[in-house]
Structure 1
Amino acid sequence: MNAVEIQNLSVNYEELSALKDINITIKDKEFVAILGPNGGGKSTLLKAILGLIKPSSGQIKVYGKNPQDKRNSIGYVPQFTKFEKSFPIDVIDVVLMGRLKFGMNFFHKYSKEDIEFAENIMNMLDIYELKNRQIGQLSGGQMQKVLIARALCTEPKLLLLDEPTASVDVESKTSIYSLLKDLNKNITILVVTHDTGFVFSYVDKIACLNQKLFYHGEPELDKNIMDKVYGCPVDVIAHGEIPHRVFRNHQEGN
């Protein structure tokens, strides 16, 4: 059975079109990267798959069901930019949140089995020694692994990640993508990223998105596809402190 099937999906925010007529199928245990410019609808697509955004038209199936019916089978790592570093919560408490099923209270009492499961996940991700550390004391790469651990505690069949390596160093990026590739042996992974220099070595397919889906296939791109996706001639695409670079002037109307 396919992990995700999207047919004729469009999403509008009032008069603004975020996604237009998207058709894509993601097979079980595929590792797919979604590429595209900021504001191109990448995060919107993830939220639609999660069932957090209602399509304006079209349909989404997650393992043959509506997204709302498969919530407990989907793990989600949101885009991590800012958080309150003084918030009094330790790593173990963040990870255990993944054991909360839909409808459970935040103050739910975790079982011994829940705690053991969370600790096993942290061991697997090599962050067990951080379990009692307050989250404000973590590096960017450590925090991303904590968020991945929380998502894995849901025991997902499908893992969605939104810019998991934004604002982390090169060593952390390599570590995170290597981890995801290993996890991909057992679960389907869909990741939104700008890190084309890293992701191509790990994924099975890429999907190029800018409101419309311009490409879905093998992780190889030519200049013509990138020009169409980004609306201008792109030479290098990067994220964080290194902006994307163009080698010709942006064309009016692109």
Structure 2
Amino acid sequence: MTFPLLRISSAALAAAALAGSLAGCAPLVIGGGAVVGTLMATDRRTTGTQVEDEGIEMRTASRIRETLGDRVHVNVTSYNRQVLLTGEVPTAADGQKVEQIAQGVDNVRSVVNDLGVMPASSLTQRSRDAFISTKVRASLVDAKDLSANAFKVVTERDVVYLMGRVTQREAKRSAEIARGVDGVRKVVRVFEVISEEELIRGGAAQQPAPVSQDPAAAAQPVKP
């Protein structure tokens, strides 16, 4: 069964995102401190994969916390078993350790490590990131030629990360929309690209497609 795309006002999205950011002020954040989640009914992943992604986020965050404590600020976001790591760590060695931990979690398919070696971001920055995610998400909802629930939006230090199973057209269009939002410094695309035919056939939620990341926007390559 399918459901029509829900039209959500920018004000409602802002309230939800800011509430989430204030509730997630701990150094380690599951699912990204500035993530506006997709709606399960219209997500292109299978229901089982959505549940598995939530489990991956929790297991990864728990292991990072057990190993590194509160000296790191790491956002863990999983989409179709691909884990995106954003946030800040005090040393490059800590960043490598976080990546190793994520790679060792059951059912993780690949890891994209975009952690910054720097002091942890401030509450003010995280609140701004949450609001940027809100504005990007609202802009995707307003776009008549996209299904907004096909995307996950994560923002870290004014950098917007877009995740999802999308066509080349959708990848390009969503990045253009995100770049046009006030306050966005850079857009990083972490997509699994499917063909228009796959989308029409309803195969978007079946087998993992090749991962595509914007090489000009991201410092870390996508690992196989």
Above 0.5 in TM-score? no
Report which structure shows greater RCO (CA 8 Å, sep ≥6). Answer: 1
TM-score normalized with structure 2 length: 0.30
Bigger proportion of residues as helix: 2
Q: Normalising by structure 1, what TM-score?
A: 0.28
